[in-house]
Structure 1
Amino acid sequence: MSLSASCYGLQTIIPFIIVTLVLFLNIKGSTQISREFWPKYWESDVTKGNFPKNSSYSLNLETALSNLSTVSYSHIFSNITVGTDDDNKVYALYECRKDVTLQRCHGCVEDATLNAVDLCYASVHPKECIVIYEECMLRYANRMIFSKMELLPNYTTCAGVKFLMDGGALHGGVKSNLESLIERAISENSSSTKYFGVEKAKNIVGRDLYFLVQCTPDISRTQCKKCLMNAFNYTVESCARDARLWGQFRGPSCQMRYDDEPFFNVSLLDHNVIIAPTPFAPDVSAQPLPMVDEPISMKFGQTRMPKFMQYGSNNILPLYLI
């Protein structure tokens, strides 16, 4: 082949490669921009059994997740039981962070219900799974998980950069503020602020820090404190003691976070503010599927689960709403 022929071939293929790359980047970019909610952590337990597609457990799970998605239009927490046969009975629940709007709560729960089965897929479909987002948490199992304080599975994340001029002040400030916030959260009695607290502390290591603690509302006050103290040990000892400017703990029954940037609805810092979620009217005319990265494809025939299923079946038991 002559040199001119080789050059001609390169001139022909290079524009094609450039156009293909630009299209790929545009598609990936639009997918990431369009996706509003991102799962941060998920874990499945294959030791609790698994289920094949189109089995009774699979259908019960589909029904449970669909109902939870619908209920999240008007509640920040709910649980449900679907099925009568013990081997195929599904227990499922979700909880949203109490400072988010119902609209964001629903958006987060809907995303979780659409993607949980795929996220927790591990060569088989396990019967137990938990998926955690920034705004919400969703879990399901083939055993009773309601009104039980559970510490596992959990995850702790800390800031990647240390505050070098710490001198122990960060650890002490985070420790004292979280201790007082835990006591305040477990003493709240109203349903809107039960087991929930936020705080802003000024001038810790020369900057403001923001704190949040929360437990699921179905556990007892004693269980909530035990869970938060467990979270406290992870967050304070793993992150603050190591001079990390932010730290976060998430688990099935509680969560805790501190940060040097506001991450919650700061209007709640006025402790006279009562959280009173207002249900919003969903647009049922046309609700397209959310943009999802390719690795996260939906099961159940690649279709959106049906909305607004009624609690008419004796096999469907909504147990707790808030």
Structure 2
Amino acid sequence: MGKDSALTMFLLIIPFFILFNPTAAEPLYIDCNNDASNYTLNSPFEKNLKLLLQALPSNTSLTGFYDISIGETPNKIYGQALCRGDVNAAVCESCIVNASQEILKNCKSKDAIIWRDLCQVRYSNQMFFSMQVYTGKYPDWDTQEKNISSPVQFNKILEYLLTNLSTKAAFNPSSRMFATGEVVISAKQTIYGLVQCTRDISGGDCNNCLNSALGDLYACCYGRQGGIIFSRNCDMRFEIYPFYNASSNLLPNPISQGDKRKIWMYVLFACIPTMILAIIIGYCVFYLSRKKGKEKDEERAHLALLLELTTSRGVTMTQEGELMSYEELPFMDFTTMIAATDNFSDSNKLGQGGFGTVYKGILPDGKEIAVKRLSRKSWQGLEEFKNEIILIAKLQHRNLVRLLGCGIEGDEKFLIYEFMPNRSLDMFIFNSERRAQLDWNARYNIICGIARGLLYLHEDSRLKIIHRDLKPSNVLLDHEMVAKISDFGMARIFSENQNTANTKRVIGTYGYIAPEYAMAGQFSVKSDVFSFGVILLEVISGRKSSGFYLTEHAQTLLAYAWRLWNEGKELEFVDPLLLETTPIEEVVRCINIGLLCVQEDPSDRPTMSSVVVLLEGEPTAIALPQPKQPAFSVGRIVPTDKSSTTDPSLNQITLSVLQPR
């Protein structure tokens, strides 16, 4: 039987499995990753995706975990499947079949993941194996609506159970990163727990992922009789009834001995001090908010955010447990934001981000503001929300967007910024009509403004800050077209003597990520310098790095700039709208600076203080060094059809790739 016949047979038998398979319940959650590009029907990518989904069920059922890649760049696709560790091969295969059908039906993006009760399936056009990324999602779970009578004691035992299971799953080689267990609370009540990680990550990463899940589980399901948290690399669940098929693993009740000293010793050793403080404060706030009769979901979300924020210094609360301020940053009420934004109407919508939507608002005193309303049902943005409050509230600079306030009310979280009437840089330089409004002086001032803002973050502020997600959409323009860097949700603080840091959670936007960060997870001030260099070249050329389409000239914008530089044809790189009025020596000098910023070795790239001097100093006083060839760049290639009259920059067939030298 050929591949096409086998694929046809696979798709035909899927409805049979759904009709007659008891595991064919509704999926817990489907994430189609709206930030990723979509594939087109009947394309090579879709064909590879179907072949990949066809291969997952039988292969995964052999061991319960399987990852695979199919195809060649630019249509290469990576896939991974995981079955719950207590199911047999037949149930595993059936669950993967159902999950594959659901993800194929519901998602048309090039990156997606689906979670079912007994399995999960993920695919992407980017390589993600062995990379731990915590997402922290929880579905509507019936048992979450049932309260328990003694939540403090219950949650101490629950934390003990899940902490022990996490350690076993992460560090016991025979566990295959799966563990179940139970603790008897009383003659009538037992807690059952389950944890699991994907087997492509290390034990340490598994433990870190499960620790994050435990925090979210407490936040979403405090006082409940059951709950579940799932992420890309780990899952965690508890109930007061047996819900798994694994053999019994009975753990001793840590507080059944009646010895209070043993209780506190266990708590001290099992929990870090900040978690103890968070539990105490969280319970107090939870108890007070119940007395005020708030809605259950609002209590849960409010508690979750308080648990996270109260571990940071500088937060002020009233005796009633309401957040008032973080240092000098005021907390505003949600009612005011509803009035300011006309109930968050679409007519006031300014943009959509990864963790929320931004709206224009007008305060009662007539002041215009921008309100970022964070996603209500996902805890992914919680760290970014805290980061913005802790970082940007301490920063004051002409080229940084000011954070005016924030608010937490129930499960609503929002940030209030100064309003930027000209929106973001990408809306000008990547739009042919608006780009014509930017002469060379305007573009040069924007470039210098971004450089001065980065210099402040790296060297002149009270904190040494790495932005990590610098791109044109995060550069806003005020009424005078002054550039202001925004969105500090991904930023990180460095100590005075710290130069680099490493992470396995690479975040940012392809096309602007430095090569050492994309490939090895190493970031520094030089990572921001690389991103700045990409933006500088985009502003000069009017072309987008992450959607570069001149495939007959080069595969990426940086490769195109480098080729023209070596051939002495720099002016061909410049936006044609600038050629008649642009001082040639100045724009060539800026191209040179841009290429210096995107060099392979971070040590070869200039610091932002050097960049500002090179940009604003007397050109004849400082000679520029010759740049070295970029090792590679991360971008998007859009195939063009020379016979088509369609603007290729609007083509929807985008393929994300890593381009080696």
Q: Say whether the fold is shared (TM-score over 0.5).
A: yes
- Partners of 1:270 and 1:103 lie apart in 2 by 28
Tell me which residue corresponds to 1:165: 149
Is residue 63 from structure 1 mapped to residue 46 from structure 2 by the alignment? no
Is residue 140 from structure 1 mapped to residue 120 from structure 2 by the alignment? no
- Partners of 1:73 and 1:198 lie apart in 2 by 20
Deviation (angstroms), 1:206 = 4.7
Tell me which residue corresponds to 2:32: 44
Which letter maps to 2:228? Q
Tell me which residue corresponds to 2:183: 201
Q: What number of residue pairs does the alignment pair up?
A: 232
Is residue 224 from structure 1 mapped to residue 206 from structure 2 by the alignment? yes
- Specify the SS of the correspondent of 1:267: coil
Q: Which has the higher contact order (CA 8 A, sep 6+)?
A: 1
1:205/1:52 CA distance change after superposition, 3 Å = farther
Is residue 185 from structure 1 mapped to residue 169 from structure 2 by the alignment? yes
Which letter maps to 1:61? L
- Partners of 2:158 and 2:91 lie apart in 1 by 28
Equivalent of 1:256 in 236, 246, 269: 236
Deviation (angstroms), 1:252 = 0.9
Tell me which residue corresponds to 1:154: 137
Is residue 129 from structure 1 mapped to residue 116 from structure 2 by the alignment? no
1:149/1:253 CA distance change after superposition, 3 Å = same
1:35/1:258 CA distance change after superposition, 3 Å = closer
Equivalent of 2:194 in 212, 226, 231: 212
Deviation (angstroms), 1:176 = 1.4
Deviations, residues 266-293 of structure 1 (Å, cap 9, x unaligned):
425389xxxxxxxxxxxxxxxxxxxxxx
Deviation (angstroms), 1:178 = 1.1
- Partners of 2:204 and 2:151 lie apart in 1 by 34
Deviations, residues 174-202 of structure 1 (Å, cap 9, x unaligned):
11111122122222112xx2221111110
The question of whether the paired residues in 2 share the 8 Å contact of 1:151 and 1:253 is answered with: yes
The question of whether the paired residues in 1 share the 8 Å contact of 2:148 and 2:225 is answered with: no
Tell me which residue corresponds to 1:302: none
Which letter maps to 1:245? Q
Equivalent of 1:53 in 37, 41, 51: 41
The question of whether the paired residues in 2 share the 8 Å contact of 1:43 and 1:153 is answered with: no
The question of whether the paired residues in 1 share the 8 Å contact of 2:136 and 2:229 is answered with: no
Deviations, residues 185-231 of structure 1 (Å, cap 9, x unaligned):
222112xx222111111026950110111111110111101100010
- Partners of 1:36 and 1:96 lie apart in 2 by 12
The question of whether the paired residues in 2 share the 8 Å contact of 1:169 and 1:205 is answered with: no
If each structure's helix is expressed as a fraction of its own residues, which one has the higher value? Answer: 2
Equivalent of 1:269 in 249, 254, 275: 249
Is residue 79 from structure 1 mapped to residue 67 from structure 2 by the alignment? yes
Once superposed, what is the RMSD of the aligned Cα atoms? 2.2
Tell me which residue corresponds to 1:235: 217
Tell me which residue corresponds to 1:285: none
Which letter maps to 2:199? P
Deviation (angstroms), 1:153 = 6.2
1:104/1:197 CA distance change after superposition, 3 Å = same
- Partners of 2:213 and 2:192 lie apart in 1 by 16
Is residue 103 from structure 1 mapped to residue 87 from structure 2 by the alignment? no
- Partners of 2:187 and 2:159 lie apart in 1 by 13
The question of whether the paired residues in 2 share the 8 Å contact of 1:247 and 1:259 is answered with: yes
- Partners of 2:173 and 2:226 lie apart in 1 by 29
- Partners of 1:102 and 1:214 lie apart in 2 by 17
Which letter maps to 2:172? E
- Partners of 1:70 and 1:33 lie apart in 2 by 18
- Partners of 2:95 and 2:188 lie apart in 1 by 34
- Partners of 1:261 and 1:35 lie apart in 2 by 20
Deviation (angstroms), 1:65 = 0.7
The question of whether the paired residues in 2 share the 8 Å contact of 1:248 and 1:256 is answered with: yes
Following TM superposition, where does structure 1 have runs of at least 4 consecutive aligned residues deviating by more than 4 angstroms?
31-35
Highest CA radius of gyration, 1 or 2?
2
1:45/1:197 CA distance change after superposition, 3 Å = same
Deviation (angstroms), 1:151 = 1.0
1:133/1:68 CA distance change after superposition, 3 Å = same
Equivalent of 2:76 in 89, 95, 98: 89
